[in-house]
Structure 1
Amino acid sequence: MIEFGSGRATTIKLAEHRVFSDSFKPLYNQGMGLVEEAAEYLDGEGRAEAKLLSQAGATLYAAESMRLTTRLMQLASWLLLQRAANAGEMTREQVAAEKSKVRLDTHSPQDQALGWAELPAAFRDLVVRSLRLQDLVRRMDEEIYGSLAPDADDAEGLNTNPVFDQITLLKTAFGHR
């Protein structure tokens, strides 16, 4: 946040300005480009490279590719919601309600995991870039919407189906119910 003074305080939230203006397009393109790049890699070159890994490496690759896919799906959902708000297809309040289904906390053991160095360099690069984008989006989300971390005592989250929630979220973002 930046505050400019001219007799009265005016606060400009930089993240909010970036998301709800033309400045959002590069971020959207970066995120969706990363989703596309990862999908192409995992379906092509990554599949071939995974077959060359040791059993431990292949297990780590499988687990990490699931995390990567989940992380990118969540990021794409967030970006689609922000784009819908930016285009006037949804109000900020609607986006705030829908984005509560988006999780921006998919972690990765990265180089602390046994066998991380064995994973293909292109794959590790995708993971690192997805984590950087997730960190950026999470910070922007917190600045715009506030921190809405779920209460640890809240048992409601234990009975939800994340795949169903994600499909519902994507349908909402595209205007299909």
Structure 2
Amino acid sequence: MSEPSLNTVSFAGHAASSAQFKALYAEGMALVEETATYLDGPGRTASKLLPRLASVLYAAESMRLTTRLMQMASWLLLQRAVNNGEMTRDQVLSEKNKVRLDSFNVDRSAPGWHDLPEGFRDLIERSLRLQNRVALLDREIYRPQDATSFSPDNQNAVKAQLNLLQTAFART
């Protein structure tokens, strides 16, 4: 017996154009602004008072933080363009290849990490959490085959339940 086609709803696609996306967009852009203000003001002052090792780490982490936030802002702007009808999905897919959302980890055990200003470490942590949320949404929207391809040993719980119901109510 062949499996009937199921009509599925892309929750990620709807979430990307919902109030939740608008909140994510606002949070991301606010974090970009907050980080810029910090790095240009209190962060610059605090970095001059750091021990040498922490100062070097601060410089490296501030570049990573800035890069991470710019990559997320780029993704958010592309998604907003799709939502507003300014770009097609295909246009976004070609531009999206330039955006990196998954390669900016932080070594919290690095020498000098605990000497970094608490406000700076907080910005890093918040940017990492936001990066994870954006990367998850990106995978759900633009790589749904990754999210829905399951081996027989690793099925989606809902799909497994639907298969059980089909089997139970199948005509013989």
Listed as ranges, the matches of 1:56-75 within 5 Å are: 56-75=53-72
Alignment correspondent of 1:138: 135
Would you say the 8 A contact 1:31–1:76 is kept in 2? yes
Alpha-carbon distance in structure 2 between the residues aligned to 1:113 and 1:14: 39
1:54 pairs with 2:51 = yes
Alignment correspondent of 2:79: 82
Query: Aligned partner of 1:128: which letter?
Result: E
- TM superposition score normalised by structure 2: 0.77
Task: Tell me by how many angstroms 1:23 deviates.
Answer: 3.2
Alignment correspondent of 2:39: 42
Task: Tell me by how many angstroms 1:18 deviates.
Answer: 1.2
Alpha-carbon distance in structure 1 between the residues aligned to 2:103 and 2:123: 14
Which ranges of 4 or more aligned residues in structure 1 deviate by more than 6 Å?
Answer: none
Alpha-carbon distance in structure 2 between the residues aligned to 1:20 and 1:93: 17
Change (3 A) 1:114 1:19: same
Alpha-carbon distance in structure 2 between the residues aligned to 1:14 and 1:125: 31
1:19 pairs with 2:19 = no
Q: Deviations over 1:33-56 (max 9, x none)?
A: 000000000000000010110000
Query: Aligned partner of 1:139: which letter?
Result: L
Listed as ranges, the matches of 1:113-132 within 5 Å are: 113-132=110-129
RMSD: 1.9
- TM superposition score normalised by structure 1: 0.75
Task: Tell me by how many angstroms 1:17 deviates.
Answer: 1.1
3-state SS of paired residue (2:7): strand
Alpha-carbon distance in structure 2 between the residues aligned to 1:128 and 1:14: 27
1:99 pairs with 2:81 = no
Higher strand share: 1
Alpha-carbon distance in structure 1 between the residues aligned to 2:13 and 2:110: 36
Would you say the 8 A contact 1:64–1:108 is kept in 2? no
1:32 pairs with 2:29 = yes
3-state SS of paired residue (2:104): coil
In structure 1, runs of 5+ residues without a counterpart are 1-6, 148-177
Which entry has the higher C-alpha Rg, 1 or 2? 2
Would you say the 8 A contact 1:67–1:106 is kept in 2? no
